[in-house]
Structure 1
């Protein structure tokens, strides 16, 4: 077996903290099988450790489920309830990577998602958006760095015990089983 050195332009190995001000954790789900509802979580944190070889990198993240925002306060309260996320019992969703692998011209981040008391493997298609200097460093902008990543994936909410298969007149599901996940992450290099 031969190993291939993975190169990413401008790549910097190190420990990075997710910048929640310049990042987003979003999702999309079908509603009544005729449209899609989009939402996001406003409170989250994460750490990315980029290895000397990008395939040796790791990610850990946590999302405060009470911070859900779908643009409708009444719907958000219902999603927080025991009917769906049950944030009183399960306040956070966590992700821990188990590996990074090449997939054609891109990458896949393999990992375990824990949601609603259930842990399941969830791979995410990963795009490395780039690495560059951190212009927000007041002391010395040339010491810091920022990195950008986009990750997308899909989960089946029923596999995590969220909601049910309730139908509406005509037999369509009231809420789709599949949830599309989109993460737009900007991370700050931690320096001594």
Structure 2
């Protein structure tokens, strides 16, 4: 790898194709519940591929997430979320993300991309943090990223809006996404 001003800001930067290590990666979400707290969950099964290019801002990411792998820590709620009332996993078993570009700076990148969920595709930008590149104990190379996003579940046609007697709704519309991805360089 040659050294250019962009890669100097990312120590040990490497170009290549990276696959997320599912054991060391997390795709999580949270949203307002009963207007007083937050409901949290994660998707256990996901495949994420990152392609780092010579210019880091030319890099890309694709992801496929098994929607049925939702885990909120409550089996009855998870079953309800898999139903046709919410995610409808029989008709829409996966959600996908495909980056369309990276803008900003190497220190503060913003990944532009399209999320397809519940049969609907919308632009969902990811605020990205590069946690680092380095060796792993097995002689391979790893990279770590953290990313956050926010989306409207209504824009994707997910769930209903049940009003509370005192005002507000049972489940909020805004969903916060939190990604912790540790990926392994492919040979």
Q: TM-score if structure 1 supplies the norm length?
A: 0.92
Asked if 1:176 is matched to 2:172, the reply is: yes
Output the CA distance in 2 between the equivalents of 1:105 and 1:20: 26
Task: State whether residues 57 and 106 of structure 2, in contact with CA within 8 Å, keep that contact through their aligned partners in structure 1.
Answer: no
Structure 1: give runs of 5+ residues left out of the alignment: none
User: What is the aligned partner in structure 1 of residue 63 from structure 2?
Assistant: 61
- 1:6 is paired with a residue whose SS is helix
User: What is the aligned partner in structure 2 of residue 14 from structure 1?
Assistant: 16
The partner residue of 1:156 within 138, 152, 167 is: 152
Deviation, 1:75, is 0.4
Asked if 1:119 is matched to 2:121, the reply is: yes
Task: State whether residues 57 and 105 of structure 2, in contact with CA within 8 Å, keep that contact through their aligned partners in structure 1.
Answer: no
User: What is the aligned partner in structure 2 of residue 28 from structure 1?
Assistant: 30
Output the CA distance in 2 between the equivalents of 1:84 and 1:5: 46
Deviation, 1:105, is 4.0
The partner residue of 1:166 within 162, 169, 177 is: 162
Number of equivalenced pairs: 182
Deviation, 1:5, is 4.2
**Distance of aligned partners of 1:84 and 1:103 in 2 relative to their CA distance in 1, 3 Å threshold:** farther
Task: State whether residues 6 and 106 of structure 2, in contact with CA within 8 Å, keep that contact through their aligned partners in structure 1.
Answer: no
Superposition RMSD in Å: 1.3
Q: TM-score if structure 2 supplies the norm length?
A: 0.94
Structure 2: give runs of 5+ residues left out of the alignment: none
